[in-house]
Structure 1
């Protein structure tokens, strides 16, 4: 019983001590973090006035991104169109016409 009481007291002392430390240290840490982010943003916009975001993640879809930006707005390029067979169509495509109706009670 003495061991359980000792554990509970130590647990609450550590818990409230950590809570107090976080309340003191988190504003300082968040301020430093925002300063770093703002400094990086200012450095990236220093040359041309536009932000240049560089992602260093290994995204498997990077190879599909378009490298040239010669397309006009609204223009669409389709790289692949699957073949459509009349036999493979299902559901509403081969079911025929549907008539809207209202249910009368």
Structure 2
């Protein structure tokens, strides 16, 4: 008799947990997705906050150092051999 009572109580508790999860889980997911969507919209608004037609340069390559021709080396005459 004790084993049957234990099994019935266990099944009842599992059924109640299952019903609660079916009711609560979608609400938690909706809330989570809503927050993620709001953060994405906020980030998109921040990136598009620049006025139209403005130019922004994120990277400028370093300029090559131009030296005097004296420092570049010796010039060697070239003759083409046929």
The Cα of 1:21 is off from its aligned counterpart by 0.9
Q: Which residue of structure 2 aligns with residue 5 of structure 1?
A: 4
Q: Which residue of structure 2 aligns with residue 23 of structure 1?
A: 22
Q: Which has the bigger relative contact order, CA under 8 A and spacing at least 6? A: 1
RMSD over aligned Cα atoms: 2.0
Whole-angstrom distance in 2 between the partners of 1:10 and 1:69: 71
Matches within 5 A, 1:83-102: none
Ranges of 4+ aligned residues in structure 1 off by more than 4 Å: none
2:37 counterpart of 1:38? yes
The Cα of 1:22 is off from its aligned counterpart by 1.2
**Structure 1 pair 44–26 and aligned structure 2 pair: CA distance change class (3 A):** same
**Structure 1 pair 48–3 and aligned structure 2 pair: CA distance change class (3 A):** same
Higher helix share: 2
The Cα of 1:8 is off from its aligned counterpart by 0.3
The Cα of 1:35 is off from its aligned counterpart by 0.4
**Structure 1 pair 21–37 and aligned structure 2 pair: CA distance change class (3 A):** same
Which has the greater radius of gyration? 2
> Scaled by the length of structure 2, what TM-score is found?
0.53
